[in-house]
Amino acid sequence: MKIIEGDTLPAVDLNGVVIFPPGKFENKHEAARYDRLVYNIKLVYPYAKLAGIKLKQIKAILDTITNDRQRKAFLKKSEKELDNQFGDQVRDMTYSQGKILIKLIYRETGSSTFAIVKELKGGFNAFIWQTLARIFGYDLKTLYDPKGVDEPIERVVQMIDAGAI
């Protein structure tokens, strides 16, 4: 509540509202592609958000560890926990969902998955994972361009965050 010149007025903070114009598609094929993109992002986005949260937690703990042996043991333990918790779901993702996940992890963390692996596991491990990813058609160095190529992904993510989807 606010008091203005002796009058008591209710004061309510409201969240901003984002209004998205309806998508315009030239044919049914494009509309189906967009629907599939929305489905894939809705499936993958929670994992990307969780990856951002987990990475911050892991980095905070690693900042307190000074011993290399303890650091490696902690990273190994964390990796095993994440694999037990999410490994099956991530392995069951389709090719397109994997590519979207890589981009959304960049969006959430501000770093490519290659840079994250390099920082946590070292350059050699990052090279090995990048090589393995390239064999299967992925690129861990993929950047996220919300104003360019990845604009449809950004639009869907904003709609999810706004509760429109």
Give the pLDDT confidence of 83-94 residue by residue, as tens digits: 888 888 888 889
Cβ proximity of 104 and 157 under 8 Å? yes
Domain boundaries, given as residue ranges, for the chain: 29-162
Q: Per this entry, what is the length of the chain?
A: 165
Q: Per the structure block, which two tokens stand in for 118?
A: 């390099």
* pLDDT reading at 100 higher than 80: yes
pLDDT in tens, 16-65: 777 777 778 889 998 899 999 999 999 999 999 998 898 898 888 888 88
The per-residue pLDDT of the chain, averaged, comes to 87
Q: What is the DSSP string of 18-54?
A: ---PPP--SSHHHHHHHHHHHHHHHHHHHHHHHHHHH
In this prediction, residue 148 carries a pLDDT of: 87
- End-to-end, the C-alpha distance of the chain in Å comes to 33
- Find the Cα–Cα–Cα–Cα dihedral 46, 51, 54, 60, rounded to 10°: -140
Give the 3-state DSSP-derived string for 53-81, with helices as H, strands as E and coil as C: HHHHHHHHHHHHCCCHHHHHHHHHHHHHH
In this prediction, residue 12 carries a pLDDT of: 84
* pLDDT reading at 7 higher than 90: no
